[in-house]
Amino acid sequence: MSLHRFRQILSSQPSLLEGSIGKGLIAFAVPIFLGNLFQQLYNAADTFIVGNFIGKEALAAVSSSSNLIFMLVGLLNGIAMGAGVLIAKYYGARDYENMRLAIHTNLAFGVWAGLGLTVVGVALTPHILRWMGTPSDVLPNSIAYFRTYFLGVMATFLYNIAMGILQALGDSRRPLYYLILSSAINVALDLLFVAGFHWGVASAAAATVISQAVSALLCLWQLTHTEQIYRVKLKELRIHGGMLRKIIRFGLPSGIQNSVIGFANVMVQANINAFGADAMAGCGSYAKIEGFAFLPVTCFAMGLSTFVGQNLGARQHDRVRKGARFGILCSISMAELVGGIIFLAAPSMIGWFNGDPQVVAFGVQQARTISLFYCLLALSHCMAGIFRGAGRATVPMVVMLCCWCVIRVAYITVTVRVFQNIQVVFTAYPVTWALSTVVFLLYYFRSDWIHSFDRLDQKSASR
C-alpha cells in the first residue's frame, strides 16, 4: 500500500454499512490501531523511564500494574462495551431516539461508576497487593503508584466511555487525534516528573492521569459540540432505568469476563511474584512489548464489534459474514508477523527497559514461549468481538472464563507446585488460547449467532 493511499484511508470517514467491506473495515480499524499504538507507546514510556531512572524495584512496581488495574476497571469497561453495541445497533437501524438515550445514560452511569471505582481502588490497593504476595522491597512503590492512579481513574474511565461512543458511531479518527496528543503529554510529563524532578514512582502515575484527563476532556468536548444527531446535552445527562437495564444486559457478561480474567491474571502475577523482583521486572517488561502484538488483535476485534452491530441493525446478514472473515484473516496475519519479530528481537527489546541480565533472561524466556502463538489469541479475540457485536456477549464470557481463568489458574497452581519452574506459568497462555480457539470455532460454525438481534427485537416487541 502506498503512503498516499494510506493517508487517504486514514483521512476518510468510513461507512461500515455500505461500499467495500475491506476498505471500510481497514479505514475504521487503522485509527484504532494507531490510537492503541500511541497508548502502548506511552505505557511503555512509563516503564522505560522508571526502569532507567529509578531502578528495577520501581520497574517491578510499575510493570505489575496492568493486571490489578484491569481487574478493578474491567467490570465497568465491559458494561460500557455493552452500551457501544447498543449504540451501534441503533445507529445502523436509524433509531436515533434510542441511540441518544443510550449515549446519555452511558455517560451518566460513567460518572457515578467512576466515583465508586476511585473509592474502591484507593481503599483496597494495599490489601490486594499484599494478598498478591508483592515482595517487601517492591510494596511501597506499588502502593504509591496504584493509589495515585486510582485517584484519577475517573478520567481514564470517562475517556474509554466517550471513545467507545464515538467508535460505535463509526468515528475512529478523533479518538486517535486526542490520544496522540495525550501520549505526547504523558511522555513529556514522565521525563519532567521522574527524570527531571526525581519525584518517584507516584509521579509516573500522575503523568498518566493528567494525560488521560486531557484526552477525556477532548472527547467529551467533541460529543457536546458536534452538529451531528448524536450531540450530547449536559442537561439530558441522567440514568434512564430501562436503557441502563439494556446496557447492563449487553455489557455485564463482558464486564464479568474482564473482571474474572483480571482476577485470574492477578493470581498468575502472584505466582510470578514468588520468583522475586527480577522475574516481576522481566515479565513486566515483556508485557509492555507484548502490548504491541495485541494492537492488530484489538483494532480488528473492536472494529468487528461495531461492524457486526451496525450491519445486523440494518439486517445485512451476508455483509456481516464477509466482514467477519476479512477481519479475522487480517488480525491473525498481522499478529503472527509481530509475534515473529518479537521472538527474534526479544533480548534487545527487554534490555531497553532494564539491562540487568537476570531481568532480561526472565523477559526473553516468556517472550520466546508465547510470541509464536499470537495467531490463536487474535482468532479468539476476533470471535469474541463478533459475538459481542451480535448481542451474544455471554458466549465469549463463558468461553474465556472457563479457558482463560479456571483452566489456566488450575493448570498453573498444580504445575508450579510440582515443577517449581516459572516456565510452566508462561506455557499456560498458549495452551489456554488454543482451547478457547477450538471452542469459538465450533460455536461460530454450528450456531445461528447471526440472527441474535432479530430474536432480541422480537422479544422486545412482544412485551
Is the torsion defined by CA of 163, 257, 151, 68 positive or negative? negative
Cα–Cα distance measured from residue 393 to residue 386, given in angstroms and rounded to the nearest whole number: 9
Quick one: the chain helix, strand, coil %, rounded to 5? 85, 0, 15
135: left (phi over 0), alpha (psi -120 to 50) or beta: beta
pLDDT of 3 over the 50 cut? no
Residue bearing the bigger pLDDT, 93 or 378: 378
How many Cα neighbours within 13 Å face the side chain of 435? Answer: 17
| Per-residue model confidence (pLDDT) at position 66 | 64
What is the distance between the alpha carbons of residues 386 and 449, in angstroms, rounded to a whole number? 9
**Per-residue pLDDT at 376:** 94
Query: Which residue would you say has higher pLDDT here, 127 or 322?
Result: 322
Q: Which three cell numbers stand for residue 431?
A: 495452551
| pLDDT tens-digit readout, 94-131 | 898 999 999 999 999 888 888 988 898 888 888 878 87
Ranges of beta strands (E only) in 21-151 are none
Rounded Cα gap, residues 185 and 179, in angstroms: 10
Quick check: 312 pLDDT over 70? yes
Predicted local distance difference test score (pLDDT) of residue 255 = 78
Question: How far apart are the two ends of the chain, measured CA to CA in Å?
Answer: 51
CA dihedral (405, 122, 143, 131) positive or negative: negative
Q: Which residue has the higher pLDDT, 171 or 402?
A: 402
Residues 422-457 have pLDDT tens digits of 898 899 999 999 999 999 999 999 888 887 655 555
Cell numbers for 380: 479468539
Report CA 202 to chain centroid distance, whole Å: 23
For residue 41, count other CB atoms closer than 10 A to its CB.
18
Q: What letter represents residue 22's amino acid?
A: G
The whole-model pTM stands at 0.71
The confidence band for 9, taking pLDDT boundaries of 50, 70 and 90, is very low
**What percent of the chain stands above pLDDT 90?**
24
Mean pLDDT, the chain, rounded, equals: 83
Alpha-carbon distance 453 to 150, whole Å?
37
At a CB cut-off of 8 Å and minimum separation 6, what does 102 contact? Answer: 83, 86, 87, 90, 243, 246, 247
- What average pLDDT score do residues 252-264 get? 76
- C-beta separation of 347 from 326 below 8 A: no
CB atoms inside a 10 Å sphere around CB 314: 18
The confidence score (pLDDT) of residue 124 equals 84
- Give, in order, the Cα–Cα distances in Å from 126 to each of 114, 123, 136, 202: 20, 8, 12, 14
pLDDT, tens digit, 9 for 90 and up, residues 275-284: 888 888 888 8
DSSP codes, 389-455:
HTT-THHHHHHHIIIIIIIHHHHHHHHHHHH--THHHHHHHHHHHHHHHHHHHHHHHHS-GGGHHHH
308 vs 168: CA distance, rounded Å: 11
Tens-place pLDDT, residues 21-80: 888 888 888 887 887 777 777 667 777 787 777 776 777 767 666 666 776 677 777 777
Q: How far apart are CA 428 and CA 207, in angstroms?
A: 34
Residue of 279 and 81 predicted with greater confidence = 279
**178 vs 60, 189, 330, 381, CA distance in Å?**
29, 17, 26, 25
% of the chain surpassing 70 pLDDT: 91
User: Distance (Å, rounded) from C-alpha 222 to C-alpha 135?
Assistant: 44
The 10s digit of each residue's pLDDT in 195-216 is 888 888 888 889 988 998 998 9
Distances from the Cα of 217 to the Cα of 46, 160, 407, angstroms = 22, 11, 41
All three cell numbers of 277, joined, read 523482583
Q: What pLDDT was estimated at residue 7?
A: 47
Residue 296 near residue 334, CB atoms below 8 Å: yes
In whole angstroms, give the CA distance from residue 389 to residue 272: 35
Is the pLDDT higher at 201 or at 463? Answer: 201
Q: How far apart are CA 194 and CA 192, in angstroms?
A: 6
